[in-house]
Amino acid sequence: MPPDAEHFRECVVLVQNGILLLDKENKLIQTAAGEREEVDAEDTGEKGYNYRSERYANRLKRDSRIAKIFSSKVHGDPATPLFRAYAGDRVIFRTMMPADKPRNVGFCIHGHEWKEQPEDSHSRIISVQGAVSIGNTFNLELKEGASCPGDYLYRSGSLKWDVESGMWGIFRVMKHGIKRKCKDVCHRTFACICGKRT
């Protein structure tokens, strides 16, 4: 990449809330069907991101402690996309819902915020994007970039059915290694020699 090129990490999230999902015995999975109350047709179908899902039920079979449901140490990383960035990196999450249920969902990334209207310098800062529905797209540029190193949950704003059905994943923020630090120093040196500011 040229030294003066604008760079950022792009995380594309394809939101799906009406997946026809079968188990390994070819039986239809219906998370919402286990509820006592009648389930609205808009809440049927399984959930996920980028054609992947990480259902609670599968994790609880391996370890029944609900407090450890999101733990990669206990269960391994989820099947949903694992997005990575280094602390401070410019990151843009692009969300879209191409088809299926017209039920709106939300999208949040724990520990991060962004402008509600990216082009407006006076836009309010939010941590949950609502109104994610068929045909809508949102570009969420993280305020101040990726946060401190660690794992951050990204998920639907609706815990009932959505997250339980597998609509969640991990955004992993890593520490800068020596190789990255050297690359940054070289980049700044090159820019200084060429008379360009970084």
pTM metric for this prediction = 0.83
Q: How confident is the model at residue 198 (pLDDT cuts 50, 70, 90)?
A: very low
The tens digit of pLDDT for each residue in 143-185 reads 999 999 999 999 998 887 789 989 999 999 999 876 665 566 5
CATH number corresponding to 9-193: 2.60.40.420
Q: Where are the domains of the chain?
A: 9-193
The tens digit of pLDDT for each residue in 61-79 reads 999 999 999 999 999 999 9
pLDDT exceeds 60 at position 51: yes
- Name 55's Cβ contacts closer than 8 Å, sequence gap at least 6: 29, 31, 46, 164, 165, 166
The tens digit of pLDDT for each residue in 104-151 reads 889 999 999 999 999 999 999 999 999 898 888 999 999 999 999 999
